[in-house]
Structure 1
């Protein structure tokens, strides 16, 4: 039986309409907001490491995944963690070093996912005009560090790698936003800190980095207070789903992502370019994180920075929300 041209055209139109309807339905299902919104408060460190959260907020991805989000700025992971444990929010962005130190005092919190890593975020900066060209030149000198943080672990790792002892230098504990000023006026001879302070230091004075790239890989993580109820689990799962979507968007649109961060933190594109190349954005919970936590815990005990027995650091890693989110993505 021959099919007339008119019948063939009609069939093609029907097929095209069906395909379009299926595509629209699929896209609608992918971006359809989730049921009732769950309120969530996240303490967020004001650093480009927090990019996935800034992007998720800007693009409305938290709302898309059923989260009524409030982002509360804080000055570094130490402050974020302290505020969370005092009930200011359910979540906080912290490095693994901050998690390790707090695990000796309180195990009623968990890391639910790493969302970015960097092997060059921390730096040991000094002023070359004062004759500092290598870390060995700092023997007997004062170094500004942020207590109980990645800043302190990084400094001691550099000293060990250079054949120096922790007692070879004087450490001066400072808030992150005081480091540059204290070095500039000569109150400390060098500073150990993360970005954006490294960039801000070199933007205002001539500095030399006495550290080594790759000596330490920083992980930035989302932590929460332990709550074993269904709402808390669902909230964490939705937040991670929003961050996963944000990370995919960041990888596809790096320049637009940098523009969001630049506007949010009021920093220049040059500063972001300085740091961005070292960032790896990815949701994960790997054995590398556990190994780093255990290594840093032994270091803290050996240097009398903490008291008591080493806790079981596996107890502060909870991948249940991450696994549930990933299972849902696979099942779609």
Structure 2
């Protein structure tokens, strides 16, 4: 009996000792990591594919940031949302950057993430008998004022020595242009995708003029320089700034597009409610890559010179576009 009591005593002593030892090594679980939240105004075009893919596949979160997407039709409206403080970044064309650089110095270009030499097109109707730039003299072309649509038309006309002043223009919101052409309000439209495709579907008499290679459109990310979010480090040891975390996420998205194009297209179709026919229509013209170099800066300067000579801006001096490039981003690309 004494032996049993002795064993019970040892067990009783051992249990609290074990609990004490186990408890000594116990740690409270770490609270969930709060990632910096970033909102991006994304133009509803297939050019924005890397943004959608980086969001859906979790590439932004892996890089240490929590990204929300606000869909807006057109880079010009995306930039306006940025200036109103509704978003942290915006997708824009070079033309939007150029026009706004004359009266705003509070934004910076983070990166260019896709290029196309056939995204903007001149669409007309067969009955107009417009085949060349010469046929546009005295006619009316629908444009989106202060955008790549306007610059593209001007560039195409001057490439064949046609005075842009000899062609009339009418300003529209981009979504209204296919219907305006179909109603006969204009003889042609200078428009980006998917609105050129929509025009072709709206009227079987629509035709696209041969302008491929005339202008290389790039889509870019810009942000306000005074936004405090870009001074906040992401929760990632590789990306030491939010800027670099965004670039890392986009870079992974572009690699995903190259490696798994069908999966990438499916993500884009689901988000933008696009048909596979349309994706096939534009996909071959896209080059998904990150870039920010002297050629980009030179192109901005060329567009700015055009805007001055065409009297589209009051200023007479081309801005220094190095001041509009994120130094850290330029160094890393």
Q: Aligning the two structures, in what range does the TM-score lie when normalised by the shorter sequence?
A: 0.7 to 0.9
**Any stretches of 5+ residues in structure 2 without a counterpart?**
1-31, 234-239
How far, CA to CA, are the matches of 1:128 and 1:271 in structure 2? 21
User: How many residues in Structure 1 have an aligned counterpart in Structure 2?
Assistant: 292
Q: Which moved more, 1:249-258 or 1:302-311?
A: 302-311
1:1-332 superposed matches below 5 A: 36-205=34-203, 206-227=205-226, 230-231=231-232, 234-308=241-315, 309-321=317-329, 323=331
Please say which of residues 265-274 and 34-43 is displaced more in the overlay.
34-43
In structure 2, what is the Cα distance between the partners aligned to 1:200 and 1:143? Answer: 17
Q: Secondary structure at the match of 2:290?
A: strand
- Structure 1 residues 291 and 124, CA gap change in structure 2 (3 angstroms): same
What SS does the corresponding residue of 1:264 show, helix, strand or coil?
Answer: helix
Structure 1: 5+ residue runs without aligned partners? Answer: 1-33, 327-332
Deviation for aligned residue 1:101: 0.4
Please report the TM-score for the alignment, with normalisation by the length of structure 1. 0.85
In structure 2, what is the Cα distance between the partners aligned to 1:144 and 1:58? Answer: 36
Question: Who is 1:8 aligned against?
Answer: none
Do the aligned partners of 2:59 and 2:249 also contact (CA within 8 Å) in 1?
A: yes
Partners of 1:288 and 1:312 in 2: CA distance: 14
Work out the CA distance in 1 between the residues paired with 2:189 and 2:175.
11
**Aligned-partner SS, 2:271:** helix
Which structure's CA Rg is the greater one?
2
Does structure 1 retain, via aligned residues, the 8 Å contact 2:76–2:147? yes
- The alpha-carbon deviation at position 149 of structure 1 amounts to 0.7
Deviation at 1:257, TM superposition (A): 0.5
SS of 1:224 mapped into structure 2 = strand
Residue 319 of structure 1 deviates from its aligned partner by 4.1
Counterparts in 2 of 1:196 and 1:319: CA distance versus 1, 3 Å? farther
Cα contact 1:285–1:319 (8 A) shared by 2: no
| Deviation at residue 234 of structure 1 after TM alignment | 1.6
Instruction: After superposition, give the CA deviation of every residue in 1:42-94 in whole Å (9 maximum; x if it has no partner).
Output: 00000000000010111121122221111001111100001101111110000
CA distance in 2, matches of 1:268, 1:125: 20
CA distance in 2 between partners of 1:63 and 1:322 (Å):
23
Q: CA deviation at 1:131?
A: 2.1
- TM-score by structure 2 length? 0.84
Query: CA contact under 8 A between 1:113 and 1:222: conserved in structure 2?
Result: yes
CA distance 1:51–1:194, shift in 2 (3 Å): same
Please tell me whether the aligned partners of residues 178 and 202 of structure 2 are also in contact (alpha carbons under 8 angstroms). Answer: no
- Given that 1:240 and 1:322 are in contact with CA atoms closer than 8 Å, whether structure 2 keeps it comes out as no
For the residue of structure 2 that corresponds to 1:120, the secondary structure is coil
Q: Matched residue of 1:293: which SS? A: helix
Q: Quick one: structure 1 residues 120 and 67, their matched pair in 2 at CA, closer, same or farther if it must change by over 3 Å? A: same
- Structure 2 Cα separation of the partners of residues 108 and 211 of structure 1: 38
CA contact (8 A) 2:120 2:152 kept: yes
| 8 Å Cα contact 1:76/1:176 also seen in 2 | yes
In 2, the alpha carbon distance for the partners of 1:207 and 1:287 equals 38
